[in-house]
Chain A
Amino acid sequence: MIWLAWRQFRAAALMTAAALGVLAAFLAAGRTSLLDQYERGLALCGQGGTCERFLDRFFDDHQTPFVGVTAVALLLPALVGIFWGAPLVTRELEAGTHLLVWSQSITRTRWLAVKLAFVGAAAAVTGGLGGLLASWWATALDRAAVGFPLMGPLVFAGRGVAPIGYAAFAFALGVTVGLLVRRPLPAMAVTLVLFTAVQIGMPLLVRPHLLAPVHGTFALSPANVDQLMRGPDGAVVVVADGRVPGDPGAWTLSSRIVGPSSLVNVAEPAPGGAVVPVATDTGPCSPRVPVEGPPEQGRDLCLDEANRLGYRQDVTFQPSSRFWALQWYETGIYTVLTLGLVGLCLWLVRRRQF
């Protein structure tokens, strides 16, 4: 039976292996120069204190491949579910060949179990290769990607070991949907819709609660403030950008600016923005104050004043130190879901209703 499973899966397996091989070769070739640029850049900027600017530029230069590789790692599990999972049984049902193979001297349960194990293992390996390859290639970029934090929903799901679980789950989902819908194209469509829903639901509803989020209060600084604006009544509006100072890869669940005590009500004219009662016509926040040095320094003076008055950034977040813990948690959850679906598949095929 393993022979048959392999014989039917051979073409798809070889094609995927070839595609992943080509991708891996490209990434391996590019990775060396990427790491080189990163280390040289960091060494240079360390002397001038301009590392933030270097990281920004470094990431901007490589944003397209970064997004591309992340997208591949994100999409691989879905593709596995659609093109390996959904057709696994429906293609047999469509061609009638299920009746050929089920009339050999092997139970249909065993037939499906072997196919699920064999192709499912290949699916898990494919998903895992996608995630690990992306992690390996993007080590430097993940440290520089401020707009795409490593722990954020988009990047997290395209890194590490969780894609193993995603791919196995997508595959089992495809087979289950196929057994229920029974036709290849509708089964593929339904699989895509359901898998997408689960992948959106996971970071929205489950992942934030897997480990209790960290709560922190941080002084306002260029690391967490996006911009300063002149607000109504001439006061300053400080707009925080939701980053966590000192942990650019963290996943911010909520971020706001709080006043000196809970008694002071902070007006929030814009999302993330807060009115700080500092005059903008005179004093440290006045744009007319002549300042020696670069323009950033005037901004720092203004933030110092806001900090002195007791304004702080209040964040709940998942720190990037939890990356592997959350990765393994999620892999575990998806593995359990996968086993549940496998059980359902075997039960469906045993009922003899085809």
Chain B
Amino acid sequence: MTAALQAQDLAKKYGRRWALRDCTLDIPAGRVVGLVGPNGAGKSTLLKLASGQLAPTSGTVTVLGGPPADPAQLSRIGFVAQDTPTYAGLTVADHLRLGARLNPRWDSALARERIDRLGLDPGRKAGRLSGGERAQLALTLGLAKRPELLILDEPVAALDPLARRDFLRGLMEATAEHELSVLLSSHLVSDLERTCDHLIVLTDSRVRLAGEVDELLATHHRLTGPRRDPGRLPADQHVVSARHTDRQSTLIVRTGGPILDPAWSVGRLTMEDLVLAYMEQAAPAPAPVPAARPALAVLR
């Protein structure tokens, strides 16, 4: 099976500022991939590079086995951009017509059925739809194109919690039905927690963590115990973050092996804990965090 997305030293520079650098990824097909990171971390840049909208400054990206900007690839990749843009002056029906005219694999039955189910009036202008309805219209366009990889940039950012849940549910159903790979970004972990089986954490224009969610959760542990120097842990335990009080240390470590030291009480991490640990690590540390470097090395 070919990979959904592979990137090798991918980098993009705007003027003198790096929006993304040293990005090396290998995402297998058939996954729902969550891309999470703070605003301005480079998520949109990575997604635009992956969808062929942007040309990289250096490095390469291949999607479904080929360069994303290749005209032959266009019909295989769907992209719903940030803020789910639609033509304000065109009606819902016009948008479906646009999709039908510009896509050889257009599934008009799927599009019409989705619009019906969502209760969108085909005669309504897109400019008069609510944010949630517009997002649904954009997602319908993306799905009815019948891509093999659907890329969505913060599709739910503008939605209220209920619309957010409906949107993600709609996406999940469609994913299951059409066996497509999805790459989805958000700055909220909670959006991704229920939907994703693969996770990428991007902060400060670099990829900090990438992998299958189950595997990541199984290999990261929270250790709580008497205060000690994180440098004296066994060699296979990489410290992601460390927090110390006078008497106690709380570490988040990554390790393939079991934690044998009885002094630690070992806790499981949620996806949110995991993401926050990696995000914190990239942020300018408020307290001395000597473990920052080795954890970075884990990624390489």
Which residues of chain A have a CB within 8 Å of any CB of chain B?
Answer: 1, 3-4, 7-8, 11, 95-97, 99-107, 351-354
Contacts and interface: CB of A to CB of B under 8 A. Distances in A.
Contact of B145 (A1, A102, A105): A105
Contact of A96 (B69, B81, B90): B81
B52 A104 contact: no
A102 B53 CA distance: 7
Given A106-B102, A354-B53, 6 more contacts: A95-B85, A100-B81, A103-B77, A103-B80, A103-B81, A353-B55
Contacts of B81: 96, 99-100, 103
7 contacts: A4-B101, A11-B89, A99-B48, A103-B81, A105-B74, A106-B102, A352-B69
A103 B153 CA distance: 13
Contacts of B83: 96
Interface stretch (B92-100, B162-170, B198-206): B92-100
Contact of A100 (B52, B75, B87, B101): B87
B86 interface: yes
Nearest to B71: A107
B53 A99 contact: yes
A121 B99 CA distance: 25
B209 to A, nearest CB: 27
A104 B55 contact: no
Going nearest first, the 6 A-B pairs with the smallest beta carbon separation are A96-B85, A99-B81, A105-B75, A104-B102, A103-B79, A352-B55
Given A3-B97, A4-B98, A4-B101, A103 B86 contact: no
B138 interface: yes
Interface of B: 48, 51-55, 69, 71, 74-75, 77-83, 85-90, 94, 97-99, 101-105, 138, 141-142, 145
A144 B287 CA distance: 89
A170 to B, nearest CB: 24
Contact of B138 (A1, A100, A104, A352): A100
B9 to A, nearest CB: 18
A1 B97 CA distance: 11
B243 to A, nearest CB: 41
A351 B97 CA distance: 28
A3 B74 CA distance: 20
A109 to B, nearest CB: 9
B89 to A, nearest CB: 8
A3 B101 CA distance: 8
Contacts of A99: 48, 53, 79, 81, 85
B79 A351 contact: no
A7 B90 contact: yes
A115 to B, nearest CB: 13
Contact of B53 (A11, A97, A352): A352
A96 to B, nearest CB: 4
Given A4-B98, A352-B55, A103 B78 contact: yes
B50 to A, nearest CB: 11
Contacts of A97: 85-87
A103 B99 contact: no
B134 to A, nearest CB: 11
A354 B94 CA distance: 25
Contacts of A95: 85, 87-88
A349 B94 CA distance: 25
A97 to B, nearest CB: 5
A8 B87 contact: yes
A235 B53 CA distance: 79
A353 B15 CA distance: 11
Contacts of A102: 53
Nearest to A10: B89
Centre residue among A7, A99, A351 by max chain B CB count within 10 A: A99
| Chain A CB within 10 A, most for which of B53, B94, B99, B138 | B53
Contacts of B98: 3-4, 7, 101, 104
A353 B54 CA distance: 6
Contact of B74 (A7, A107, A351): A107
Given A1-B102, A353-B54, A106 B74 contact: yes
B53 A105 contact: no
Given A3-B97, A99-B79, A100-B141, A105 B104 contact: yes
Please indicate which of the listed interface residues B77, B81, B142 has the most CB atoms of chain A within 10 Å of its own CB.
Answer: B81
A8 to B, nearest CB: 7
Contacts of B71: 107
A105 B90 contact: no
Contacts of B74: 103-107
Nearest to B81: A99
A102 B103 CA distance: 11
B105 A105 contact: yes
A100 B54 contact: no
A51 B82 CA distance: 72
Nearest to A11: B89
B5 to A, nearest CB: 16
